[in-house]
Amino acid sequence: MPPLVLTASSVDLTRTICDIPSVSGDEAVLADLIDDAIAALPHLHVYRDGDTIVARTESDRPQRVVIAGHIDTVPINDNVPTRDVDVDGDAYIWGRGTVDMKAGVAVQLKLAAELVEPRIDITWMWYDHEEVDADLNGLTRLARSRPDLFAGDFAILGEPSNGTVEGGCNGNLRAVIRTTGVRAHSARAWVGENAIHKAAPVLARLADYRPREVEVDGLVYREGLNAVRVGGGVAGNVIPDLCEVEVNYRFAPSKSAVDAERHVRDVFAGFELDVIDVAVGARPGLDAPLAQQFVAAVGGEPRPKYGWTDVARFSAMGVPAVNYGPGDPHLAHHDQERVPIAQIEDVERGLRAWLS
Amino acid sequence: MPPLVLTASSVDLTRTICDIPSVSGDEAVLADLIDDAIAALPHLHVYRDGDTIVARTESDRPQRVVIAGHIDTVPINDNVPTRDVDVDGDAYIWGRGTVDMKAGVAVQLKLAAELVEPRIDITWMWYDHEEVDADLNGLTRLARSRPDLFAGDFAILGEPSNGTVEGGCNGNLRAVIRTTGVRAHSARAWVGENAIHKAAPVLARLADYRPREVEVDGLVYREGLNAVRVGGGVAGNVIPDLCEVEVNYRFAPSKSAVDAERHVRDVFAGFELDVIDVAVGARPGLDAPLAQQFVAAVGGEPRPKYGWTDVARFSAMGVPAVNYGPGDPHLAHHDQERVPIAQIEDVERGLRAWLS
């Protein structure tokens, strides 16, 4: 594998690193290449933990920004290697990882090499295992072993945001609602109790639910409460004794985990409900002075981020954080994942303008 | 394997044939033993098709009754060999097949040997594969190859009925109702359409459904409409695009397949619905003169049969049919399957009294 050339354009770097498969768990080849390329740069102090690489400028600036991107992707589905495509007259790089989020990582790698004397000290983080269980996430590991590396006045995650600033993120709660009954032969149903029939009000409440829009620090977050799974049944001639409805609640970053659980329990009052997991969101982080300078430098109107991202991790550690990267988040994980070349260049220009 | 001794008591014969495993598909050992024992009886004309054995008296009686019993069982679950148990002071034979329906078969085998000159000509049928797909059923096969053997004025299935006459049986329809939507990331649910939420009215209609009781030829059949399975969901963060609810409709024997399908389509009007299979029931068959004599001879008050049995097959071929056998149908297929010894003897006496 030839070494990464960080003086290449960020567009070429995007093609190169997308063509090196790095599905979660298999990031080592790409991490080694990044490590080798970054370790050769004398202005950066490098720390490695597994396949997570941290590179810091230490120029004694009064402020520090953390700029992070994950290097793993969801599984490839016949969409590697990348290719250049044209959609409605716009040039795209098509393939797994182009949106989520190797184009963002390519911009970061290029600027990490180029910005020898940035205006603000920078902690670059390229990390593994973002697309899988949070316990495996490289930042979870790093936060345990080296929490000091997260210190900063502001953080930028290169998650796809169509090249505009997306502030914070919604929280995410999953719960299972269970109804129970009594099994019986379906020829003598009156001997049993049908657990699936008892779930009727659960689905009715979901169907009737009107999600709120919640303004937080000037951005409006759309919430959502949805069934993501339903299951029940024993055999074609048996009255079922169990039905489960798994729901997913996406809640505004102004709500705590306790608030979110209380809301879901209110909606399904009278039913047995177990919360499986909950991750609070992140407030937009746009009131921080560095954030305001950043938004002014890159331009555009900040918007809310709906999906949960690692900005919440920084927010929870007291570091205001936003998402800013090339690519349409609707195309993340999509088999037709593709990033507009112009957005890669825009994001590169935006970050450079602010950091130089 | 020692030969079957048909001069033994029907209780001993029950123990013997229950201790010869004959789970559907593995009936050959038992079928061979029955064939050998029956072939030795000069008053019976024997025909064999696979593991189905037909034995006819040909005494030129003006009337003929078909008496049938299946020799297969559902899978054994640590409940063979049989043992004698006492429950609340009553003596039982415990084990797989005791109820469904080898005690009934034992009575039939004993009487087949004993009744050399019956009052009514008898066609005995012992058949395979009743507990599995109807296509495999020995009677399905026989009805294709030798429909003439089903000729008769009346039929008795030895299915468990607590030693009382259970007339006819309910019909059985299974259908799947599908709701569809549009997949989306659950962080942006408004981009999609939730198929599980759309199933809310399906479950509500099931929960609100009040099954009818339908009188047919003097017996009251309880109907039932139940969800037996529900399924939907793609992943914990995806708005599901498909939800399926499988329903099972048990309908009175006065209804045709068309009636039954129309009723289910009415209940779920507005939804996509596919009928998976339908088997019509059987009218009680108690208005036939032979049936009335039979009921008078064995005594007791006839009751409706709720579960579908092969009586429906005879009924469809124009032969009125009833269920009459030892054992509680609620214990069929049960791990604690057990038959009261007194019921075996009662059924033997009942049949003998009518046939002698």
Q: What is the pLDDT of residues A172-185, one digit of tens each?
A: 999 999 999 988 88
Whether residue B329 sits in one domain with residue B222: no
User: Which pLDDT value is given to residue B191?
Assistant: 83
Q: Compare all CA atoms of chain A with the CA of B222 and give the residue at the minimum distance.
A: A188
Q: Write down the catalytic residue from A27, A72, A159, A223.
A: A72
CB-based contacts of A248, cutoff 8 Å, min separation 6? A172, A173, A174, A224, A225, A226, A227, A228, B186, B236, B237
How far are the Cα atoms of A15, B133, B162, B170, B273 from residue B245, in angstroms, in the given order? 46, 22, 34, 22, 9
User: pLDDT category, A98, cuts 50, 70, 90?
Assistant: very high
CATH number at residue B195: 3.30.70.360
Counting one residue from chain A and one from chain B, the pairs whose CB atoms sit within 8 A come to 162
Cα A162 from Cα A343, distance rounded (Å): 7
Contacts A222 to B, Cβ<8 Å: 190
Residue B264 carries which side chain, given as an amino acid letter? V
The reply to whether B87 and B53 lie within a common domain is yes
Q: What is the pLDDT of residues A244-271, one digit of tens each?
A: 999 999 999 999 999 999 999 999 999 9
Whether B62 and B159 map to the same domain: the answer is yes
Q: Are A222 and A299 members of one domain?
A: no
Residue B1 lies in a domain: no
Tell me, yes or no, whether B2 lies in a domain: no
B189 with A250: Cβ contact below 8 A = yes
Q: Are strands B154-157 and B321-323 parallel, antiparallel or unpaired?
A: parallel
A41 dihedral zone (left: phi>0; alpha: psi -120 to 50; beta): beta
Among residues B279, B300, B331, the one where a domain terminates is B279
Looking at the fold, whether A23 and A48 belong to one and the same domain comes out as: yes
Q: Is B289 helix (H, G, I), strand (E, B) or coil?
A: helix
Please list, in sequence order, all residues whose beta carbon lies within 8 angstroms of the beta carbon of residue B28, skipping any fewer than 6 positions away: B51
Task: Give every residue of chain B whose pLDDT is below 50, as ranges.
Answer: none
Structural domain includes residue B230: yes
A127 and A51 belong to one structural domain: yes
- The closest CB to that of B227, out of A185, A197, A235, belongs to A197
Q: How far is CA A320 from the centre of its chain?
A: 16
Task: Please list the alpha-helical segments (H only) found in chain A.
Answer: 10-18, 28-39, 103-114, 138-145, 195-198, 200-208, 257-267, 289-298, 311-316, 341-355
Percentage helix, strand, coil for chain A under 3-state DSSP, each rounded to 5: 35, 30, 40
- Nearest residue to B272 (alpha-carbon basis) of B175, B192, B204: B175
Provide the token pair at B21.
């495993």
Residues A18 and A156 in one domain: yes
Question: B187–A170: do the CB atoms touch at under 8 Å?
Answer: yes
Q: Is residue B205 part of a domain?
A: yes
- From B351, B354, B27, B313, select the one nearest B150 (Cα to Cα): B313
Record the tokens describing residue B274, joined without a space.
């596919």
Does B120 fall in a domain?
yes
Q: What is the 3-state secondary structure (H, E, C) of A214-273?
A: EEECCEEEECEEEEEEEEEECCCCEECCEEEEEEEEEECCCCCHHHHHHHHHHHCCCCEE
Q: What is the pLDDT of residue B237?
A: 84
Catalytic residues of B: 72, 130
Of residues B307 and A57, which shows the higher confidence score? A57
Dihedral Cα A161, A165, A170, A171, nearest 10 deg: 90
Q: How far is B225 from chain A (nearest CA, A)?
A: 8
Q: Mark whether A149 and A200 lie in a shared domain.
A: no
Residues of B in contact with A236 (CB under 8 A): 174, 228-229, 246, 248
C-beta of residue B333 within 8 angstroms of C-beta of residue B100: yes
Q: Looking at the structure, tell me whether residues A219 and A258 fall in a common domain.
A: yes
Q: Which residues of A touch B227 (CB under 8 A)?
A: 194, 196-197, 232-233, 240
Confidence of residue A348 (pLDDT cuts 50, 70, 90): very high
Query: How many CA atoms lie within 13 Å of B287's alpha carbon, on the beta-carbon side?
Result: 9
Cis status, amide bond into A101, omega within 30 of 0: yes
Active site residue A223: no
Query: Is the model's pLDDT at A205 over the cut of 90?
Result: yes
Regarding whether B274 and B287 lie in a shared domain, the answer is no
Average pLDDT over residues A21-31: 97
Can you tell me the distance from the alpha carbon of A98 to that of B224, in angstroms, rounded to the nearest whole number?
Answer: 55
Say how far apart CA A184 and CA A310 lie, in whole Å.
48
Backbone phi, then psi, for B253, in 5-degree steps? Answer: -70, -5
The answer on A125 and A19 residing in a single domain is yes
Quote the longest CA-to-CA distance of chain A. Answer: 80
Q: Write down the pLDDT at residue A198.
A: 98
CB B220 within 8 A of CB B214: yes
Name which of A228, A238, A250 is nearest B228 (Cβ-Cβ).
A238
Q: Write b or e for each residue in B100-114: b if 16 or more Cβ atoms lie within 10 A of its Cβ, otherwise e.
A: bbbbbbbbbbbbbbb
- Give me the number of domains chain A comprises: 2
Q: How far is A130 from chain B (nearest CA, A)?
A: 15
DSSP 3-state of B72? coil
Tell me which of A35, A51, A100, A130 is the catalytic residue: A130
Q: What residues make up the domain containing B236? A: 171-279
For A307, name the nearest residue in chain B, comparing CA atoms only.
Answer: B187
Complex ipTM more than 0.85, yes or no: no
State the pTM of this model.
0.81
Enclosing H/E stretch for A24: none
Q: Check which CATH number belongs to the domain holding A23 and give it.
A: 3.40.630.10
Residue A168 pLDDT > 90: no
Domain boundary among A279, A305, A327: A279
Predicted pLDDT of residue B235: 83
A2 in any annotated domain: no
Angle among Cα A228, A233, A234 to the nearest 5 degrees reads 145
Together in a domain, A67 and A160: yes
d(Cα A13, Cα A32) in Å, to the nearest integer? 15
pLDDT at A306: 87
Contact A187 B246 (CB under 8 A): no
Chain A: give the shortest CA distance to residue B213, in Å: 12
- Chain B residues within 8 A of A198 when measuring between CB atoms: 207
Give me the pLDDT at residue B133, please: 78
Residue B323 pLDDT: 95
**Any domain includes A255:** yes
Task: Supply B346's token pair.
Answer: 């009662």
In a domain, B4, yes or no: no
Domain's final residue, options B214, B249, B279: B279
Residue A199 CA to residue A152 CA, distance in Å, equals 48
**Confidence band, pLDDT 50/70/90 cuts, at residue A97:** very high
Mutation target among B177, B197, B208, B245 for the A interface, most CBs of A within 10 A: B197
DSSP code at position B237 = T
3-state secondary structure (DSSP) of residue B275: strand
For residue range A275-333, list pLDDT tens digits in order: 998 999 998 888 888 999 999 999 889 999 888 899 999 998 999 999 999 999 989 88
pLDDT at res. B28: 98
- Kindly identify which residue of chain B lies nearest to residue A250, measuring between CA atoms: B187
